[in-house]
């Protein structure tokens, strides 16, 4: 058996249809079902105004940190299969969804394969991603927290992101 050092990765979760909190919790439980994925940290849950396509219901968003032996591609494939298990359909880009899972960061990996771009190409513009990401990293006392907090400051648009449930 070959044991490799696990990689720290961060996943953003969002839901704006049905029992939004339950979708987030179910997605985390499904991620954890893979024996090569360990949930290291979870942010609080935030209620957020829709961005992009604004005429839709408010989202619940959160970020989790995982430690994983899976490759980035394998982790992403696991996430896509969880989205379809939980009834995610793709009628509308940026539109309503039961669950959306985005891979934000996978260690230090940077790649521009359109199927899986890392770091996530739109994360720096999204307070609904950066607020929970910084919270999760601070909980882990990760040095990277400052770097992402600075981007959030730069964004200067935290309104529309309110604490919904402290975790
Ligand atoms: N880091 C990433 N995380 C998630 N999807 C990614 C990533 N990089 C590229 N993609 C690709 O982005 C495409 C669109 O993803 P999705 O359907 O989730 O879009 P969306 O949620 O409507 O918008 P957004 O991608 O801005 O969150 C997918 O085909 C996916 O393969
Ligand atoms: N507040 C909020 N807005 C969004 C979200 C989301 O998760 N939260 N996801 C989108 C598509 O990725 C588009 N807009």
pTM given for the model: 0.95
In angstroms, the first-to-last Cα distance of the chain is 36
Residue 91, in any domain of the structure: yes
Structural domains in the chain (count): 1
Residue 2, in any domain of the structure: no
Residue 111, in any domain of the structure: yes
The per-residue pLDDT for 87 is 84
Ligand 1 mean position to 2 CA, how many Å? 32
Distances, alpha carbon 87 to alpha carbons 2, 15, 80, in Å = 35, 11, 11
Which atom of ligand 2 is nearest the CA belonging to 49? 1
User: What average pLDDT does the chain have?
Assistant: 92
Residues of the chain where predicted confidence (pLDDT) is lower than 70 = 1-3, 89-92, 94-95, 156-158
Whether 68 contacts 38, CB under 8 Å: yes
Whether 26 contacts 70, CB under 8 Å: no
Domain extent for 15: 7-165
Residue 105, in any domain of the structure: yes
What pLDDT digit, counting tens, does each position of 46-92 carry? 999 999 888 899 999 999 999 999 999 999 999 999 999 998 766 66
Residue 76, in any domain of the structure: yes
Residue 1, in any domain of the structure: no
Can you give the CATH number for the domain in which 117 is found? 3.30.70.560
Residue 44, in any domain of the structure: yes
The per-residue pLDDT for 97 is 82
Residue 87, in any domain of the structure: yes
Q: Give me the phi and psi of 77, to 5 degrees please.
A: -60, -40
| DSSP labels, 1-28 | ----PPEEEEEEEEE-SSSHHHHHHHHH
Ligand 1 mean position to 46 CA, how many Å? 21
| DSSP labels, 21-47 | HHHHHHHHHHHHHSTTEEEEEEPPEEE
Q: Which residues line ligand 2 (CB under 6 A)?
A: 14, 48-52, 59, 61, 94, 100, 128
């Amino acid at each position: 058996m070959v044991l490799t050092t696990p990689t720290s990765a961060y996943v953003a979760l969002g839901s704006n249809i049905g029992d939004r909190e339950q979708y987030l919790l179910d997605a985390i439980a499904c991620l954890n079902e893979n024996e090569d994925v360990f949930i290291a940290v979870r942010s609080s849950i935030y209620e957020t105004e829709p961005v992009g396509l604004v005429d839709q219901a408010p989202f619940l968003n959160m970020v989790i940190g995982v430690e994983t032996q899976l490759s980035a591609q394998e982790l992403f494939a696991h996430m896509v299969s969880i989205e379809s298990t939980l009834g995610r359909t793709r009628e509308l880009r940026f539109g309503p969804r039961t669950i959306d899972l985005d891979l934000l960061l996978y260690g230090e990996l940077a790649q521009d394969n359109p199927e899986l771009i890392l770091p996530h190409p739109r994360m720096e513009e999204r307070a609904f991603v950066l607020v929970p990401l910084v919270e999760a990293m601070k909980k882990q006392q990760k040095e990277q927290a400052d770097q992402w907090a600075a981007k959030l400051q730069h964004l200067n648009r935290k309104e529309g992101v309110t604490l919904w449930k402290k975790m």
